[in-house]
């Protein structure tokens, strides 16, 4: 395979190849802490770069609207079977192009235009697709929100119930992009049942932790579970939907012909490979290390005097309250970028700055764990971040940390990227 050095691409299109090469180097040299990112395996990279990208396959395996689908059918059957086994689900659709498309399809399989939905506030850890006004979810549905307790940083389930009784939503959405504690899907279902609502679980971030046994599952509680494949689950950039045999056909119809045309068969191949990887015992070990590393980072920040929302984490991410030491999230994000550490600014519960500035940074452990960081390296990362944030104007500190970042990452290869091939 030419995936390492891209020799053909470099010949055919030097400009695109050069930009890709620079990105490859960034991924190897830097410390990747964006909580929604990960490094896929070399096998997944290869699968996504195959001739399956040439194939149209509208429909489902065995029921396509195009000829010549016998081999891509095999691939999709593998992906469906594996993801059902991985999560213990009765039905799976692996065609959504992304997490957002998975959510759109899931909603429209059970809801109508204008129905009321109740989701977690974006500013307190939710996602755009959970009802934000600028998103389809806020434009097509009447969106209402629950939040987290500003003191503890935790979802207050009694308050969710109160809000649900007041709003009487057609659906409740449980799931988050920036929430570091266990989500109680069982409790969410009780609340949904009490007000006669459907429960949608969006496990985009924590899918890998659920698969790896580090977070309670939504299966059996939510009517429909939506996810991405590319966050903690470590698959290619894309989505999927899990439900039971009763609701399955409706979901399938909403994905296609409801809102998508031909599925991305090369990406579905990547999903099949990633799901197989997640079924191996080693993936449980990976999920455990992801949580241990996030907890090590959280403890290190707290020890060094930078508070973490809710005091720690149960999963792969933490929200660091950089505002409390006088730096905006935006400034922290920029400073850290200059030393090769990727994070993203994030609002925190009870935010006092604008969303653009924010008071927090979101830090995730999934990607660094994939490249082999343990708790020792994770503590070191928190230490480097603290050094930068405590001396933002000190050029000497920034230079030294840049070098430390390079030294640290040089010992930990990224899957699918050989240093020699950079
Ligand atoms: C990332 C994410 C999504 C959207 O996934 P995309 O692939 O970026 O469209 C949806 N819901 C949650 C909770 C997410 O974190």
State mean pLDDT over 397-409: 97
Mark whether 228 is an active-site residue. Answer: yes
Mutating to test ligand 1, I would choose from 120, 122, 177, 240 the residue with most ligand atoms within 8 A of its C-beta, which is 177
Nearest CA to ligand 1 atom 5: 99
Q: Which atom of ligand 1 is nearest to the CA of 130?
A: 11
Topology at the third CATH level for domain 285-410? 3.90.1150
Question: Is the confidence at residue 93, as pLDDT, over 90?
Answer: yes
Q: What is the pLDDT of residue 4?
A: 56
Contact call for residues 410 and 377 (beta carbons, < 8 A): no
- Tokens 């999560």 -> residue: 87
Q: Is the CB of 362 under 6 A from ligand 1?
A: no
State mean pLDDT over 329-347: 97
In this structure, the chain runs to a length of 422
The predicted-structure confidence for 366-388, as pLDDT tens digits, reads as follows 999 999 999 999 999 999 999 99
Q: What is residue 34's DSSP assignment?
A: -
Contact call for residues 98 and 264 (beta carbons, < 8 A): no
Distances (CA, A) of 222 to 83, 230, 241, 331, 394: 17, 21, 12, 39, 50
Q: Which atom of ligand 1 is nearest to the CA of 175?
A: 13
The percentage of residues in the chain with a pLDDT greater than 70, rounded to a whole number, is: 98
State mean pLDDT over 209-225: 98
Q: What is the pLDDT of residue 417?
A: 85
Comparing C-alpha atoms, which of 323, 287, 299, 288 is closest to residue 382? 299
Question: Is the confidence at residue 418, as pLDDT, over 80?
Answer: no
Q: What is the CA radius of gyration of the chain?
A: 22
- Tokens 């009321």 -> residue: 116
Domain extent listing, the chain:
46-278, 285-410
Q: What is the pLDDT of residue 354?
A: 94
CATH class of 46-278: alpha beta
Measured on CA atoms in the order 275, 279, 285, 290, is the torsion positive or negative? positive
Measured on CA atoms in the order 169, 171, 177, 180, is the torsion positive or negative? positive
For residue 257, is the peptide bond before it cis, meaning its omega torsion is within 30 degrees of 0?
Answer: yes
Coil, helix or strand for 334?
helix
State mean pLDDT over 146-167: 97
Residues in Cβ contact with 332 at an 8 Å cutoff, skipping those fewer than 6 apart: 322, 343, 345, 361, 389
pTM: 0.97
Q: What is the pLDDT of residue 419?
A: 65
- Report DSSP letters for 351-389, one per residue: --S-TTT-SEEEEE-HHHHHTT--HHHHHHHHHHHHHHH
The predicted-structure confidence for 13-68, as pLDDT tens digits, reads as follows 999 999 999 999 999 999 999 999 999 999 999 999 999 999 999 999 999 999 99
The predicted-structure confidence for 204-216, as pLDDT tens digits, reads as follows 999 999 999 999 9
Q: What is the pLDDT of residue 6?
A: 83
Q: Is the CB of 175 under 6 A from ligand 1?
A: yes
Q: Is the CB of 359 under 6 A from ligand 1?
A: no
């Amino acid at each position: 395979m030419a995936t390492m050095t891209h020799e053909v691409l470099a010949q055919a299109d030097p400009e695109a190849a050069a930009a890709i090469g620079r990105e490859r180097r960034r991924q190897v040299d830097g410390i990747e802490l964006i909580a929604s990112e990960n490094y896929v395996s070399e096998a997944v990279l290869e699968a996504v770069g195959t001739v399956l990208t040439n194939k149209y396959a509208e429909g489902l395996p065995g029921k396509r609207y195009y000829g010549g689908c016998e081999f891509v059918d095999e691939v999709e059957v593998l992906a469906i079977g594996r993801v059902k086994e991985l999560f213990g689900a009765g039905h799976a659709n692996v065609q959504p192009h992304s997490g957002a498309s998975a959510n759109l399809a899931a909603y429209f399989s059970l809801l109508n235009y204008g129905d009321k939905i109740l989701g977690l506030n974006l500013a307190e850890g939710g996602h755009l697709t959970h009802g934000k006004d600028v998103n389809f979810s806020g434009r097509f549905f009447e969106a209402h929100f629950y939040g987290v307790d500003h003191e503890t940083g935790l979802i207050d389930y009694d308050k969710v119930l109160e809000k649900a009784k007041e709003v009487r939503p057609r659906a409740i959405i449980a799931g988050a992009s920036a929430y570091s504690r266990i989500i109680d899907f069982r409790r969410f279902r009780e609340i949904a049942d009490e007000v006669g609502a459907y429960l949608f679980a969006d496990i985009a971030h924590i899918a890998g932790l659920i698969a790896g046994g580090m977070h309670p599952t939504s299966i059996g509680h939510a009517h429909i579970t939506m996810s991405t494949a590319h966050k903690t689950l470590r698959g290619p950039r894309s989505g999927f939907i899990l439900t039971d045999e009763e609701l399955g056909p409706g979901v399938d119809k909403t994905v296609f012909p409801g809102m998508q045309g031909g599925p991305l068969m090369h990406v579905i191949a990547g999903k099949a490979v990633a799901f197989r990887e997640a079924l191996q015992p080693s993936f449980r070990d990976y999920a455990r290390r992801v949580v241990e590393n996030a907890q090590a980072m959280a403890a290190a920040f707290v020890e060094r005097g930078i508070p973490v929302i809710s005091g720690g984490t149960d999963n792969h991410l933490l929200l660091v309250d950089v505002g409390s030491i006088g730096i905006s999230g935006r400034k922290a994000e920029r400073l850290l970028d200059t030393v090769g550490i990727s994070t993203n600014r994030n609002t925190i519960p009870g935010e006092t700055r604008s969303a653009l500035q924010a008071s927090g940074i979101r830090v995730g452990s999934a990607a660094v764990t994939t490249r082999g960081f343990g708790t020792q390296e994770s503590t070191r990362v928190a230490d480097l971040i603290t050094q930068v944030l405590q001396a933002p104007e000190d050029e000497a500190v920034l230079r030294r940390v840049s070098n430390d970042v390079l030294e640290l990452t040089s010992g930990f290869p990224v899957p699918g990227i050989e240093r020699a091939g950079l």
